[in-house]
Amino acid sequence: MGKPTGFMDYERKVSVDVSPRQRIRNFNEFHEHLSLEEQQLQGARCMDCGVPFCQSGMTLCGMTSGCPLHNLVPEWNDLVYTGNWEQAYYRLHKTNNFPEFTSRVCPALCEAACTCNLAGEPVAAKENEYAIIENAYACGYAAAKPPRTRTGKTVAVVGSGPAGLTVADQLNKRGHSVTVFERSDRVGGLLMYGIPNMKLEKQTITRKIRVMEEEGVTFVTNSDIGKTVKADKLLKEFDRVVLACGASNPRDIDVPGRDAKGIYFAVDFLGRNTKSLLDSGFKDKKYVDTKNKTVVIIGGGDTGNDCVGTAVRHGAKSVTQIEMMPKAPDTRAENNPWPEWPRVCKTDYGQEEAIAVYGHDPRIYESTVKEFVKDKDGSLRKVKVVRLSREKDTQTGQMQMKEVPGSEKLLDADIVLIAAGFLGSQKYVTDAFRVALDVRSNVKTEKGGFRTNVNNVFAAGDMHTGQSLVVKAIRQGRECAREVDESLMGYSNLYVQ
């Protein structure tokens, strides 16, 4: 390591966020990043631990601790400190195809597992990553590097989310000819239409897509495999097909009044918002406008928070977020020690903005919806919610959330956004390729691998595992690409780690 006492000599310093009331005026990213000189001092805080939990990516108590990509975090932290930005980029890019995405949207599993967390604040690894990749673009290190030779093998990738893009990037580097099919009008999948602009500005995606195109990857948009394009066509024209369509079946809420006008799935709400923003700056009015509306969001997590931030930006009259689980503690509990992922209450950017605008936290914990109340015209007017309590089931012995009798109350609501997670791959795609599914409607593959029951068809990402993190989708894409490469060539030299 470059500076053995760096973690004592320098305090953790990260980018400054634009104030909530100012940043809600637009849909831009809102972090004011450090200069390269200041960022180098943050690299000095890394101790190059003998056992670097930051890059372990292991599972502890059902949660991931450290980076699933096994990023060489101590190595590029040291290179940042010494100002060797070019080499830092090559070490980072060795394990991560898309640091421009993860440095913006990853929850920083590496920092949660940082040894400095034991008695202080973690190394600012995520922001070091951001500085490395943005400097690489500025200096030309991240420019296109087409493969020198081609193998003559062809691969179709269905879906252009993080897993699909990773498969395409890896196999193209190997020299295979890769075509990516995307059903939307823009490439990026979840990155483009699932994550709002203020978290990931879309020019960041198009910048990388241009590089991949220069390297030889072909992208075909408005191509909905299973609908506008037959699956058999891909199976005949390509040597291998990789399904990476995501877990795009939103979980619904089956209660009386569900057919009321004004109820939307969060994924549709966020997607329409981003498309309208990109197409016309909202002038086409093809988005769900929450201006002066009373908005109720059902579900927590990143998607629920993104809905809060989006509704606030459009000028919602009020925003309420209903969460089924109890509020997490503000600090680590004794039964949640480092290096486990910290199960603590997080107030994210959307909730911060709601607090600034409405004067209170929008979240209501330990509650669920019992009924949607509509008027005579079928429009949503209220949401009936009920309190929940954690109780042990007398038969199974497991803790369950049960309704508290007599705790029902009505909330005013003009718009409801359902952010209750996803249930797996979409049936028309899996039916088109005749691939087998598991009990959770994810594509079933060989144990420990990515081959489906259909010859020459593979699956990766959320379509394979269920809804997860972008960084895990990238990991899946890398592993799947290696398996596809082995099936084509008999061996593989693709680096996975």
Let me know whether 472 and 368 are in one domain: no
User: Are 322 and 458 part of one and the same domain?
Assistant: no
Angle at 326 (CA atoms; ends 323, 331), nearest 5 degrees: 120
Do 215 and 311 share a structural domain?
A: no
Are 395 and 226 in contact, with CB atoms under 8 Å apart? no
Residue 485 pLDDT grade (very low, low, confident, very high; cuts 50, 70, 90): very high
The first and second tokens of residue 363, run together, are 């979240």
Q: Is residue 149 part of a domain?
A: no
Same domain for 275 and 240, yes or no, is no
Distance CA 457, CA 434 (A): 10
Could you tell me if residue 255 is inside a domain? no
Burial class (CB in 10 A: 0-12, 13-18, 19+), 37: exposed
pLDDT band at residue 279, thresholds of 50, 70 and 90?
Answer: very high
CATH number at residue 62: 1.10.1060.10
pLDDT at 497 over 90: no
Mean pLDDT computed over 190-210: 98
| Tens digits of residue pLDDT in 316-331 | 999 999 999 999 999 9
430 lies in the same domain as 286: no
How open is the CA angle 76-82-87, to the nearest 5 degrees?
45
Q: Residue 417, exposed/middle/buried by CB under 10 A (0-12, 13-18, 19+)? A: buried
Residue 22 has pLDDT above 80, yes or no: yes
Q: Where are the beta strands (DSSP E) in 165-293?
A: 177-181, 218-220, 240-243, 263-265
Decide if 89 contacts 132 (C-beta within 8 A). Answer: yes
Q: Residue 393 has what pLDDT?
A: 81
Question: Averaged over 179-187, what is the pLDDT?
Answer: 98
Q: Specify whether 133 is located in the same domain as 270.
A: no
Pairwise CA distance, residues 266 & 73, whole Å: 34
In a domain, 494, yes or no: no
Dist. CA 305–CA 289, nearest whole Å: 17
Q: What share of the chain is helix, strand, coil (3-state, %, to 5)?
A: 35, 20, 45
Report whether 466 contacts 440 (CB < 8 A): yes
* Domain termination site, one of 418, 434, 461: 418
Is residue 273 scored above 70 in pLDDT? yes
Residue 369 sits in the same domain as residue 454: no
Residue 422 · residue 440 · CB < 8 Å = no
Is residue 146 one of the residues assigned to a domain? no
Q: How far is CA 401 from CA 280, 325, 391, in A?
A: 44, 8, 6
Cα 418 from Cα 258, distance rounded (Å): 11
Residue 371 forms part of a structural domain: yes
CATH number at residue 348: 3.50.50.60
Q: How large a percentage of the chain has pLDDT more than 70? A: 100
Check whether residue 107 and residue 232 sit in a common domain.
Answer: no
Question: For position 398, what pLDDT does the model report?
Answer: 84
Asked if residue 496 has pLDDT above 90, the reply is no
386 in the same domain as 314: yes
| pLDDT value at residue 397 | 79
Q: Tens digit of pLDDT for each residue in 424-460?
A: 889 999 999 999 999 989 999 999 999 999 999 999 9
Choose one of 391, 418, 445: the last residue of a domain.
418
Q: Span 40-54, mean pLDDT?
A: 93
Q: Are 465 and 479 in contact (CB under 8 A)?
A: no
Tell me the pLDDT of the chain averaged across its residues: 96
Residue 226's alpha-carbon distances to 164, 183, 243, 265, 428, in angstroms, are 17, 10, 12, 23, 6
Q: Examine the domain organization and report whether 22 and 128 are in the same domain.
A: yes
Share of the chain above pLDDT 90, in %: 92
Judge whether 435 lies within some domain.
yes
In a domain, 186, yes or no: yes
Structural domain of 449: 154-248+423-489
- List, for residues 92-105, the tens digit of each pLDDT value: 999 999 999 999 99
Task: Report the distance separating Cα 407 and Cα 425, nearest Å.
Answer: 36
Would the pLDDT of 423 be above 90?
Answer: no
- Give the 3-state secondary structure of residue 115: helix
Task: Write down which residue in 139, 172, 199 finishes a domain.
Answer: 139
Confidence of residue 396 (pLDDT cuts 50, 70, 90): confident
H-type helices in 333-469, by residue range? Answer: 349-358, 427-433, 462-465
409 and 293 within one domain: yes
Report, as an integer, the average pLDDT of 256-284: 98
Distance CA 347, CA 328 (A): 11
Report pLDDT for 490.
97
Cα separation, 15 vs 128, in Å, equals 11
**Domains in the chain: how many in total?**
3
pLDDT band at 1 (very low <50, low <70, confident <90, very high): low
| Same-domain check for residues 287 and 387 | yes
pLDDT of 3 over the 90 cut: no
Q: Which residues contact 303 (CB under 8 A, 6 or more apart)?
A: 194, 266, 267, 270, 419, 421
- Give the per-residue pLDDT at 443: 96
pTM over 0.75: yes
The three-class DSSP label of residue 433 is: helix
| Cα 436–Cα 437–Cα 438 angle in degrees, nearest 5 | 135
Assigned domain for 360 exists:
yes
